[in-house]
RNA sequence: GAGGGGGUAGCUCAGUGGAUUAGAGCAGUAGCCUUCUAAGCUAUUGGUCGCGGGUUCGAUCCCCGCCCCCCUCGCCA
């Protein structure tokens, strides 16, 4: 029999089969298998309680019948999984050391786990839309979450077997370009793409232009005219716009590089400028869109707040009253393009939570539009996140009220990490300490963002972030470094020296082994709702389990079989830790 | 007013589709480095799981009502 990659799923499947032989249960029985408190079991099935209640049967007797039927199933092996009825009618499952050992010997490395996880999303074509910044601005703290969460979610989806395309849907066609172009002209500013301050200059010009147009209606008109010229293809404005976008993209790329963020496409709003006309036409043809106050809008009467009857009207405006497009238009055009050109089966949008209304309207409109035009709608998911708060409980800002620059954040984290590394490991060469510091600094920034539920706001605190203790990236990196150190000491590569490994034996070995197997459950959980914090929680628990093992059981010992099995546990710990860290976007370290 | 999110230990947060003592990290207390990196490990203090009802043998979790905080609500994205 092949070794189960994900025991919980296999047990659940067997329970469903077994239930068919139990008259009270039958087909459609949901075992409700879930991870259990480790003090009781590895997994527990709660489904019998509900079924017994519905059938007015004795839950314990029913659970016992189910267990008997389970034991009759082909593929059931009591030497691998112990089963018992507990409490009012729960069924507990406990993996035996033999099962743990078999799993550890079979699922050795990332390629095996990828293969095991591939059934989760194999065959899917997924487009992920992130980090999608607006053009002509420096990256600031507000860009941290889409970068970090987007990258983690992307890696998770790809790991689970999907064919993934990363599409950076930049905001490069908005109304702000009119103001910016006007400001550049008025200041007679010469845009030098080589200048390191070019983006700061553009930001300053935009601010000035924005203030000027607010103060003077004539200037506002002039700005609109510049935008109209741009959108109608005026060569001068187009050339200027292209330069701005290029400069902006280059600056963003410098940040992306530091976060290890890759993009396959940068198809911003401007890419869809000749594709919105079709959207207007089709939406009107299928009776979805109508004129309202001069704009073209879509109502969703079945949703109270998007209906015509709502107290405060919130239609989906797909074309502005001046005839120009907005993000609803381009998002609809983008949806069509991704469906037709990329053949997407799923699209994931990573943005902050304030855009929930927009995406609900987008998804509703897309659904009706595609239905009316006989197209297949991909699965659409909005992966949204909360705000990063400062110590005052409000969105984080600098003292002057400006957003904190992302580069400044990276630099400070790196600098503090460098001090720590130098303090702890003064003997390492300075070049290596700098590399370690950069890795830790960026990792700490990332992990702080990923480790709490993405839909929560979270408080940014240098103290917590840079403390390098507790549930942090440095703790995980350090746990892995300690594993690798053992192999280095023995002059072995990770994965060598485990021939003849016996099954986990001591309590700390068994606890560690069970935690290693729980990797599959953590993947399931993180993937389910695309919430990377489940993976963080898991990795922290794994590091803790390793810490206890490391303190209790010496790896380098005289008995060959004991050393072999402990080396096997070490190798799996390191491999799962490194795989997990990379899924989060964190590059592991050899030393620190 | 409508919609979304949150209210769990001093602080930052997990969790629970019903099981005994509700978890973790920080902070506090007490131990552990001649031995695989102590950025660590062990033990321990600390909580009416916002408030009030309901269903149930049993609710932090499900249902109803209420209170507080954050966000969004017609042409920005």
Let me know whether A418 and A323 are in one domain.
no
- Residue A85 CA and nucleotide B9 C1' are separated, in Å, by 34
Rounded CA-CA distance A573/A163 in Å is: 28
Rounded CA-CA distance A559/A462 in Å is: 46
Let me know whether A327 and A283 are in one domain.
yes
* Dihedral (Cα; A261, A265, A269, A272), 10-degree rounding: -170
Q: Is the Cβ atom of A79 within 7 Å of strand B at any atom?
A: no
Residue from A491, A482, A473, A478 nearest A569 by CA: A482
- Residue A545 CA and nucleotide B45 C1' are separated, in Å, by 23
Tens of pLDDT, residues A567-582: 999 999 999 999 999 9
Residue A504 and residue A510 in contact, taking contact as beta carbons nearer than 8 Å = yes
Residue ranges in A56-175 assigned as alpha helix (H): 59-71, 97-106, 110-121, 144-159
Whose C1' is closest to the CA of A296: which nucleotide? B75
Let me know whether A252 and A333 are in one domain.
no
Query: What are A382's strand-pairing partners?
Result: A349
Let me know whether A537 and A410 are in one domain.
yes
Local confidence band at A468 (pLDDT 50, 70, 90 cut-offs): confident
* Dihedral (Cα; A27, A32, A33, A38), 10-degree rounding: -150
Query: Among residues A355, A385, A415, which one ends one of the domains?
Result: A385
| The token pair that represents A206 in the structure block | 């935009």
- b/e per residue A310-333 (b: at least 16 CB within 10 A): eeeebbbbbbeeeebbbbbbbbbb
Number of domain units in chain A? 4
The answer to the question of residue A515 being in a domain is yes
Query: Among residues A385, A415, A447, which one ends one of the domains?
Result: A385
The answer to the question of residue A301 being in a domain is yes
- Residue A456 CA and nucleotide B69 C1' are separated, in Å, by 13
Length of chain A: 592
- Residue A213 CA and nucleotide B55 C1' are separated, in Å, by 61
Whose C1' is closest to the CA of A292: which nucleotide? B74
Whose C1' is closest to the CA of A475: which nucleotide? B39
- Residue A363 CA and nucleotide B68 C1' are separated, in Å, by 33
| Average model confidence (pLDDT) across chain A | 92
Residue A330 and residue A351 in contact, taking contact as beta carbons nearer than 8 Å = no
| Over residues A350-371, mean pLDDT | 96
| Over residues A190-217, mean pLDDT | 87
- Residue A259 CA and nucleotide B73 C1' are separated, in Å, by 35
Q: Which domain holds residue A464?
A: 388-592
| The token pair that represents A191 in the structure block | 């845009």
Tens of pLDDT, residues A5-53: 999 889 988 998 898 888 888 777 888 888 888 777 888 888 888 888 7
- Residue A498 CA and nucleotide B49 C1' are separated, in Å, by 46
B chain positions with any atom within 7 Å of a protein CB = 1-6, 12-15, 17-21, 24-27, 35-42, 57, 69-77
Residues 169-228 of A with CB under 7 A from strand B: 171, 174-176
Q: Is the Cβ atom of A72 within 7 Å of strand B at any atom?
A: no
CB proximity list for A272: less than 8 A, separation 6 or greater: A325, A329, A330, A333, A334, A337
Rounded CA-CA distance A42/A104 in Å is: 16
Ranking A34-43, A124-133, A356-365, A391-400 by mean pLDDT, the lowest is: A391-400
- Residue A324 CA and nucleotide B61 C1' are separated, in Å, by 49
Give the per-residue pLDDT at A111. Answer: 94
The answer to the question of residue A111 being in a domain is no
Whose C1' is closest to the CA of A294: which nucleotide? B75
- Ramachandran angles phi, psi of A262, nearest 5°: -115, 145
Give the per-residue pLDDT at A297. Answer: 97
Let me know whether A521 and A419 are in one domain.
yes
- Residue A54 CA and nucleotide B59 C1' are separated, in Å, by 20
Give the per-residue pLDDT at A120. Answer: 92
Let me know whether A213 and A303 are in one domain.
no
The answer to the question of residue A101 being in a domain is no
Rounded CA-CA distance A498/A279 in Å is: 61
Q: Is the Cβ atom of A524 within 7 Å of strand B at any atom?
A: no
Query: Among residues A265, A285, A310, which one ends one of the domains?
Result: A265
Ranking A48-52, A133-137, A161-165, A526-530 by mean pLDDT, the lowest is: A48-52
Nearest protein residue by Cα to C1' of nucleotide B24:
A471
The answer to the question of residue A471 being in a domain is yes
- b/e per residue A210-238 (b: at least 16 CB within 10 A): eebbeeeeebbebbbebbebbbeeeeebe
Let me know whether A461 and A586 are in one domain.
yes
Residues 381-400 of A with CB under 7 A from strand B: 386-387, 389, 393-395
User: At A148, which CATH number?
Assistant: 3.40.50.620
- The secondary structure of A365-423 as a DSSP string is HHHHHHHHTT-PPPEEEEEEE-PEE-TTSSB---TTSSPPBHHHHHHHHHHHHHHHHHH
Q: Is the Cβ atom of A83 within 7 Å of strand B at any atom?
A: no
Let me know whether A280 and A258 are in one domain.
no
- The secondary structure of A250-279 as a DSSP string is HHHHHHHHHTT---SB---GGGGTTTHHHH
Let me know whether A272 and A137 are in one domain.
yes
- Residue A36 CA and nucleotide B51 C1' are separated, in Å, by 32
The answer to the question of residue A108 being in a domain is no
The answer to the question of residue A18 being in a domain is yes
The answer to the question of residue A115 being in a domain is no
Q: Is the pLDDT of residue A501 over 90?
A: yes
Q: Is the pLDDT of residue A400 over 90?
A: no
CB atoms within 10 A of CB A271: 19
Q: Is the Cβ atom of A308 within 7 Å of strand B at any atom?
A: no
Q: Is the Cβ atom of A88 within 7 Å of strand B at any atom?
A: yes
Nearest protein residue by Cα to C1' of nucleotide B56:
A53
Let me know whether A331 and A444 are in one domain.
no
Tens of pLDDT, residues A303-330: 888 999 888 899 999 999 988 889 999 9
- Residue A521 CA and nucleotide B66 C1' are separated, in Å, by 39
Q: Is the Cβ atom of A471 within 7 Å of strand B at any atom?
A: yes
Q: Is the Cβ atom of A320 within 7 Å of strand B at any atom?
A: yes
Sheet with strand A289-292: strands edge to edge: A289-292, A295-298, A316-319
Tens of pLDDT, residues A213-246: 888 888 888 888 898 889 888 999 999 999 999 9
Task: Classify the C-alpha dihedral A369-A372-A377-A381 as positive or negative.
Answer: positive
Rg, C-alpha atoms of chain A: 28
- Ramachandran angles phi, psi of A108, nearest 5°: -90, -35
Let me know whether A402 and A490 are in one domain.
yes
Query: What are A384's strand-pairing partners?
Result: A351
Residue A4 and residue A56 in contact, taking contact as beta carbons nearer than 8 Å = no
User: At A395, which CATH number?
Assistant: 1.10.730.10
Q: Is the Cβ atom of A489 within 7 Å of strand B at any atom?
A: yes
Task: Classify the C-alpha dihedral A192-A195-A201-A206 as positive or negative.
Answer: positive
- The separation between CA A180 and the C-alpha centre of its own chain, rounded to angstroms, equals 34
Rounded CA-CA distance A145/A305 in Å is: 28
CB atoms within 10 A of CB A559: 10
Let me know whether A434 and A471 are in one domain.
yes
- Residue A86 CA and nucleotide B19 C1' are separated, in Å, by 9
Ranking A55-59, A216-220, A491-495 by mean pLDDT, the lowest is: A55-59
């Amino acid at each position: 029999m092949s070794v189960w990659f994900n025991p919980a799923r296999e047990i659940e499947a067997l329970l469903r089969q077994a239930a068919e032989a139990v008259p009270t249960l039958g087909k459609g029985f949901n075992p409700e298998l879930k991870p259990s408190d480790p003090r009781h079991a590895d997994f527990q099935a709660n489904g019998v309680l509900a079924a017994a209640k519905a059938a007015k049967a004795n839950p314990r007797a029913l659970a016992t019948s189910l267990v008997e039927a389970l034991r009759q199933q082909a593929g059931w092996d009591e030497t691998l999984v112990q089963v018992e009825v507990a409490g009012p009618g729960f069924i507990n499952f406990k993996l035996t050391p033999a099962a743990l050992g078999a799993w550890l010997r079979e699922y050795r490395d990332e390629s095996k786990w990828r293969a095991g996880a591939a059934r989760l999303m194999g065959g899917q074509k997924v487009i992920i839309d992130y980090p999608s910044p607006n053009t002509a601005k420096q990256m600031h703290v507000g860009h941290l979450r889409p970068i970090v969460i987007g990258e983690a979610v992307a890696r998770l989806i790809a790991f689970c077997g999907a064919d993934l395309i990363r599409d950076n849907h930049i905001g490069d066609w908005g109304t702000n370009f009119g103001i910016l172009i006007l400001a550049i002209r008025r200041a007679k500013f010469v845009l030098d793409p080589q200048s390191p301050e070019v983006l700061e200059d553009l930001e300053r010009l935009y601010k000035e232009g924005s203030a000027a147009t607010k103060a003077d209606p004539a200037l506002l008109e002039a700005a609109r005219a510049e935008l109209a010229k741009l959108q109608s293809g005026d060569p001068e404005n187009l050339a200027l716009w292209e330069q701005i976008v290029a400069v902006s993209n280059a600056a963003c790329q410098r940040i992306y590089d530091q976060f290890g963020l890759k993009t396959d496409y940068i198809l911003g709003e401007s890419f869809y400028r000749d594709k919105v006309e079709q959207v207007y036409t089709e939406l009107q043809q299928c009776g979805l869109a109508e004129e309202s106050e001069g704009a073209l809008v879509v109502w969703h009467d079945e949703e109270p707040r998007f209906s015509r009857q709502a107290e405060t009207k919130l239609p989906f405006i797909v074309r502005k009253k001046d005839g120009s497009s907005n993000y609803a238009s381009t998002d609809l055009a983008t949806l069509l393009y991704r469906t037709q050109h990329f053949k997407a089966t799923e699209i994931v949008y990573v943005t902050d939570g304030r855009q929930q209304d927009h995406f609900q309207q987008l998804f509703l409109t897309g659904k009706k539009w595609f239905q009316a035009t006989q197209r297949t709608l991909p699965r659409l998911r909005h992966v949204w996140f909360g705000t990063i708060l400062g110590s005052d409980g409000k969105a984080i800002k600098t003292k002057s009220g400006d957003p904190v620059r992302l580069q400044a954040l990276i630099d400070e984290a790196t600098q503090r990490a460098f001090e720590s590394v130098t303090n702890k490991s003064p003997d390492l060469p300075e070049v290596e300490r700098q590399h370690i510091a950069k890795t830790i600094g960026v990792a700490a920034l990332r992990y702080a963002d990923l480790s709490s539920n993405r839909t929560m706001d979270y408080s940014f605190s240098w103290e917590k972030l840079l403390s390098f203790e507790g549930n942090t990236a440095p703790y995980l990196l350090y746990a892995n470094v300690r594993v690798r150190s053992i192999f280095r000491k023995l002059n072995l590569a990770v994965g060598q020296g485990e021939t003849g490994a016996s099954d986990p034996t001591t309590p700390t070995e068994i606890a560690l082994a069970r935690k290693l197997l729980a990797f599959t459950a953590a993947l399931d959980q993180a993937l389910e709702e695309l919430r990377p914090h489940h993976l963080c929680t898991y990795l922290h628990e794994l590091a803790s389990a390793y810490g206890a093992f490391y303190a209790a059981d010496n790896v380098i010992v005289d008995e060959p079989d004991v050393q072999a099995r402990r080396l096997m546990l070490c190798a799996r710990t390191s491999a799962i830790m490194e795989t997990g860290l990379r899924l989060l976007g964190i590059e592991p370290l050899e030393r620190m």
